[in-house]
Amino acid sequence: MERITVGFLGCGNIGCGVYKLLETYGEEIFRNEGVAFDVKKILVRSLGKKRSWNIPAHLLTDHPDEVLDDPEIAVVMEFMGGEEPASSYMIRALEGGKTVVTANKMALASNWNAIVSAAREHGAGLYYEASVCGAIPVIRAINDSLQANRITSVMGIINGTTNYILSRMSQEGAAYEDVLADAQKLGLAEPDPTADVEGYDAAYKLSILSTLAFHRHVPVECIYREGITGITPLDVQCGKEFGLTLKLLGVAKEEDGKIQARVHPTFVRSSHPLAGVSDAFNAVYVNGHACGEMMFYGRGAGDMPTASALVSDLIKAAHTKRHPLPAVNDVPCEIAEDWSCVHFVRMKAKDEPGVLALVSGQFAQYGVSISSMVQKGDRDADGYVQVIFLTHEASERAVRSALAALPAEKVCIGSIIRVEGE
Amino acid sequence: MERITVGFLGCGNIGCGVYKLLETYGEEIFRNEGVAFDVKKILVRSLGKKRSWNIPAHLLTDHPDEVLDDPEIAVVMEFMGGEEPASSYMIRALEGGKTVVTANKMALASNWNAIVSAAREHGAGLYYEASVCGAIPVIRAINDSLQANRITSVMGIINGTTNYILSRMSQEGAAYEDVLADAQKLGLAEPDPTADVEGYDAAYKLSILSTLAFHRHVPVECIYREGITGITPLDVQCGKEFGLTLKLLGVAKEEDGKIQARVHPTFVRSSHPLAGVSDAFNAVYVNGHACGEMMFYGRGAGDMPTASALVSDLIKAAHTKRHPLPAVNDVPCEIAEDWSCVHFVRMKAKDEPGVLALVSGQFAQYGVSISSMVQKGDRDADGYVQVIFLTHEASERAVRSALAALPAEKVCIGSIIRVEGE
């Protein structure tokens, strides 16, 4: 039998979830796993705040030292969120030889080298399953189950808020602003939704996932990022007519030694496993040279799903004698600045002879081959019609160059959306 | 740096896949994981047989002792298949303190207690990720990622052959026999398909999955089993009209301290994540009290996907100082003999006044409530019509009792298919 003394940094909903899980399911964990956990101190901002679970008052403190400097505390669990002071506290804990279990994607992705180095130099454990996709054990899958694979791509619906918004836009034909307002009312989107809808949250997660998948550090600053705020019901609808479903994907691929890492609205074929992932669910689709295609699906957020991953890491840390470090080598990561995929291009084109020839001529000049084209609806009052092109696989730079060279009075680009998972 | 000496039991396609993976990807594994593997001896039935990968002849032997009694061999990888002599060999290896990595669901499920006891008594490692669903890390998920969860249900498409057959029946409206013949031609079904189509293969896997999920040994003999040989295109088609997709599922649930474990054709709502799992793909859907719903999807068979899981176990074993045992307690497992679910009942009923009243009266008498009923097509030459009932959730015993009491000259039961994942 083993007893491990634990300290918390933070006690919002996730912290309360972890406390609740240890209190209500600790006996079963002890019976199955032979290990018990005592929570000794919990750092909070406000001692008197009402919480979602009844936490004994004597555990709470507003002095970080009471968690970080207590030699009895062997494991520090961090769920304060935000980059600072979380990062500094985690580094201090690691420097003191304590194991850190964190749910903080932002701190981890933003300070990857500093945090991992602190763990390495002090032989301390660093566990972060909960930092990406809540309960879904995708970190464990990449680190512990797919080690015998050269992973060629990772594509994920790794933000629940945007997936909820796009699912409803697709089901109802609703406008982005209306669904966002609803999601805010339901607590599925923040009052300031920027981090979700502009893809920042997904970029942090993709940085962690791709770093582990490709064994080279992929800094979050190197990730191409495009949010969903410009998506119109017309895009969603036109995609449907081509058999495509719109998702905000994190896409990471390794091709010719270069890594593509990008977060953007993406069409996937409606028969693709990612297309069926609706509402606030998350899923990560991985391709490995031996395992083939895999997908991991589940609840990517929420107090108890996140607590499930955190307590799993806690148990794993307790069972581990020599803590593993991320298998990331020092070869600098070369980030691709261009990539090839199918492109969905929606434009308004002047409904007059020669305009389509002009557009297709431009595409041809840049080596972009068209797979299909439809004209949608009648001409508007100004004499324009909506035209949608689907290209064959083509370099993004070529597609954008071809479109940039079109005369503005003849053609007005509505949207360029990448298609993945062909 | 660590070098581990490995012996193989068997060298069919999976064994060749493992050898190939170690040979072609061993350097990367060494760089990422700091461990290298030397294959010293390979037990085969026939020394001269042509194999799918070029294996040096001096490694091959037809004497099991050369693998099992060699003190240098630390890890024995078993992929001979079949219950014996695989089980005896694995037990001998464990008794000699060697770690066993196996892909053999049949041996493991049939001799669970003997194999696990040998591992426990001799402190030897036992790894079996590849025994269930090939590359999909579902064993790792249950054992290492969902430890903080009371798992309430496990439902899986855990046999690729039957999923291929049912997917094609559903897509094409084809008959079972025709698709089976095609699958046999394509090598997706065995010349004698019994183990797959009658659900034996799925039952072995479900025994292992449910034992781990519920922490109590669920013997394979206790699993209710029903194959797909009786499924008609009419069932598939009628299900579709109710928004249901037919799958062969392994279903395991814990309710009121009793465990249900059953393999049978099952309808799931077409919007359920399992419904989208087509062709030979596998997926396991798990429900936990903290994590909520999860699904793990991928290639459940094939040389390289299975080799991916085997080599992953090999690496895991190499990193582990104290080998984990399955967290299964000694409480005997009480198997439920009845269960509740929605039932799809297709029957031929005499097209005359009073017959529907008779049927619905019977259902009412046994407390089975009807959720919908449709009559399909015209009366046949004998004066019967096809009628399909969908019940509300009801005890299976009650449904069967109600139907058994119907007069054979009025009603002829076509099929009773359970509906899960509501």
A135 has a chain B CB within 8 A of its CB: yes
CA distance B291 to chain A (A): 4
Q: Which of A87, A83, A102 is nearest to A8 (CA)?
A: A102
> Which residue in chain A has the smallest CA separation from B277?
A273
Q: Which residues contact B387 (CB under 8 A, 6 or more apart)?
A: B346, B347, B348, B349, B356, B359, B373, B374, B375, B376
Beta bridge partners of B397: none
Q: Do B294 and A292 touch (CB under 8 A)?
A: no
Q: Does A313 touch chain B (CB under 8 A)?
A: no
Instruction: Please report which confidence band the pLDDT of residue A107 belongs to, taking 50, 70 and 90 as the band edges.
Output: very high
Q: Do B21 and A290 touch (CB under 8 A)?
A: yes
Question: Of A276, A292, A295, which is closest to B305 when you measure between CB atoms?
Answer: A292
CA distance B178 to chain A (A): 25
Q: What are phi and psi of A338, to 5 degrees?
A: -145, 160
Pairwise CA distance, residues B389 & B375, whole Å: 9
Pick from A25, A129, A291: CB nearest B135: A291
Whole-number Å distance between alpha carbons of B102 and B112: 13
DSSP H/E element including A9: strand A2-9
Q: Is B82 left (phi over 0), alpha (psi -120 to 50) or beta?
A: left
pLDDT digits (tens, 9 = 90+) for B370-391: 999 999 888 999 999 999 999 9
Q: Over the stretch A209-240, which tens digit does the pLDDT of each residue have?
A: 999 999 999 999 999 999 999 999 999 999 99
Q: Going by C-beta distance under 8 Å and a sequence separation of 6 or more, which residues neighbour residue A369? A: A363, A391, A392, A394
ipTM above 0.90, yes or no: yes
Could you tell me if A161 lies within 8 Å of chain B, comparing CB atoms?
no
Q: Which residues of B touch A128 (CB under 8 A)?
A: none
From the list A140, A296, A305, which residue is nearest B144 (CB)? A140
How much is the pLDDT for B330? 79
Q: Verify whether the Cβ–Cβ distance A148 to B305 is below 8 Å.
A: no
B50 Cβ contact list (under 8 Å, min separation 6): none
Write the DSSP symbol of residue A373. E
Please name which of B80, B62, B65, B72 lies closest in space to residue B98, comparing C-alpha atoms: B72
DSSP A279: T
CA quadruple B387, B250, B154, B164: dihedral positive or negative? Answer: negative
pLDDT at B249: 98
What is residue A333's predicted lDDT score, i.e. its pLDDT? 85
- Residue B206 Ramachandran class (φ > 0 left, ψ -120 to 50 alpha, else beta): alpha
Other beta carbons within 10 angstroms of residue A256's beta carbon come to: 6
Question: What's the pTM value of the predicted model, to 2 decimals?
Answer: 0.97
pLDDT in tens, A158-173: 999 999 999 999 999 9
**Nearest-by-Cβ selection for A32 from B17, B147, B295:** B147
User: B337 — contact with chain A (CB < 8 Å)?
Assistant: no
Both structure tokens of B31: 């760089």
Give me the pLDDT at residue A330, please: 79
Residues of B labelled catalytic = 205
Question: Torsion-angle region of residue A215: left (phi > 0), alpha (psi -120 to 50) or beta?
Answer: left
Give, for A260, the enclosing helix (H) or strand (E): strand A258-269
Q: Which conformational region is residue A236 in: left (phi greater than 0), alpha (psi within -120 to 50 degrees), or beta? A: alpha
Element (H, E) at B297: strand B292-299
The first and second tokens of residue A45, run together, are: 């901002």
- Give the span between the Cα atoms of A124 and B167, in whole angstroms: 49
Given a cut of 80, whether residue A422 has pLDDT beyond it is: no
Catalytic residues of A: 205
Q: Give the gap in angstroms from C-alpha B262 to the nearest C-alpha of chain A.
A: 24
Q: What is the pLDDT of residue A322?
A: 87
| Contacts A315 to B, Cβ<8 Å | 147-148
Q: Quick one: pLDDT at residue A331?
A: 81
Name chain A contacts of B25, Cβ cutoff 8 Å.
148-150, 289-290
One CATH from 3.30.565.10, 3.30.70.260, 3.40.50.300, 3.40.630.30 for A340-420: 3.30.70.260
Please judge whether B32 and A296 are an interchain contact, meaning their C-beta atoms are less than 8 angstroms apart.
no
Q: What is the pLDDT of residues B324-337, one digit of tens each?
A: 999 998 788 899 99
Chain B CA closest to residue A323:
B319
B17-43 confidence digits (pLDDT tens): 999 999 999 999 999 999 999 999 999
Residues of chain B with pLDDT under 70: 1
Upper half-sphere CA count for residue B18 (Cβ side, 13 Å): 33
Chain B CB within 8 Å of residue A53 CB: no
- CB within 8 Å: A145 and B312: yes
Residue B62's alpha-carbon distances to A114, B41, B44, B47, B68, in angstroms, are: 54, 10, 5, 7, 12
Facing residue for B316 by CB, picked from A137, A144, A307: A144
Q: For the structural domain made of A2-131, what CATH number should be given?
A: 3.40.50.720
Amino acid B45 reads R
**B interface mutation test: which of A29, A216, A254, A291 has the most B CBs within 10 A?**
A291
For helices B86-95 and B112-121, the axis angle rounded to 10 degrees is 20
Average pLDDT taken over every residue of chain A: 96
Q: What is the pLDDT of residues A236-288, one digit of tens each?
A: 999 999 999 999 999 999 999 999 999 999 999 999 999 999 999 999 999 99
CA distance A366 to A385: 24
Q: Is A150 on the interface with B (CB under 8 A)?
A: yes
| DSSP three-state, residue B199 | coil
Token pair belonging to B24: 């072609």
CATH topology of domain A138-298: Dihydrodipicolinate Reductase; domain 2 (3.30.360)
Please, what's the b/e burial string for A323-349 (b: 16 or more CB within 10 A of its CB; e: otherwise)? ebebbbeeeebebbeebbbbbbbbbbb
User: pLDDT (tens digit, 9 = 90+) per residue, B142-168?
Assistant: 999 999 999 999 999 999 999 999 999
Candidate from A28, A141, A290 with C-beta closest to B307: A290
Contacts of B314 (CB under 8 A, 6+ apart): B4, B6, B37, B75, B77, B101, B127
Size of interface A-B (CB pairs under 8 A): 179
Q: CB-based contacts of A10: which residues, under 8 Å, 6+ apart?
A: A43, A44, A78, A79, A80, A81, A86
Encoded amino acid at B51, one letter: R
Quote the CA–CA distance of B142 and A294 in Å, as a whole number.
17
Tell whether domain B140-299 is in CATH 3.30.360.10: yes
The verdict on a CB contact (< 8 Å) between B296 and A297 is yes
Going by pLDDT thresholds of 50, 70 and 90, the confidence category of residue A317 is very high
The residues that bridge with B342 in the sheet, in sequence order, are B419
Taking CA atoms, what residue in B is nearest to A317? B144
Where in chain A are the domains? 2-131, 138-298, 340-420
